[in-house]
């Protein structure tokens, strides 16, 4: 069973640097309180670490077969 991350945007990107805005968009988040699910990979973890102050992250178990 692979691990997944449920990522919710809890902070606004208004007034943030371009790099932070691009990172949030690259995670697939477009608006406040939107939730996306990604595989738990080092690349995603690094992106989350860069904008952790704007996100709420929860580890979940993959429910796939």
- Report residue 61's pLDDT band, with 50, 70 and 90 as the boundaries: confident
- Global pTM reads 0.89
User: What's the pLDDT score for residue 65?
Assistant: 54
CATH classification at residue 48 = 3.30.1390.20
- Reported as a single tens digit per residue, the pLDDT across 19-48 is 999 999 999 999 999 999 999 999 999 999
Domain that residue 47 falls in: 3-61
Burial class from Cβ neighbours inside 10 Å (0-12, 13-18, 19+) for residue 54 reads buried
Alpha helices in the chain (DSSP H): 18-26, 42-50
Q: How far apart are CA 24 and CA 40, in angstroms?
A: 16
- Report residue 64's pLDDT band, with 50, 70 and 90 as the boundaries: low
C-beta of residue 63 within 8 angstroms of C-beta of residue 15: no
Number of domains composing the chain: 1
30 phi and psi, to 5 degrees?
Answer: -120, -20
């Amino acid at each position: 069973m692979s691990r997944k991350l449920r990522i919710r945007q809890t902070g606004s990107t208004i007034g943030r640097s371009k790099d932070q805005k691009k990172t949030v968009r690259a995670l697939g988040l477009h608006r406040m309180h939107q939730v996306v699910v990604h595989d738990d990979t080092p690349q995603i973890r690094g992106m989350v670490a860069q904008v952790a102050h704007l996100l709420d992250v929860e580890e979940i178990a993959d429910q796939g077969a």
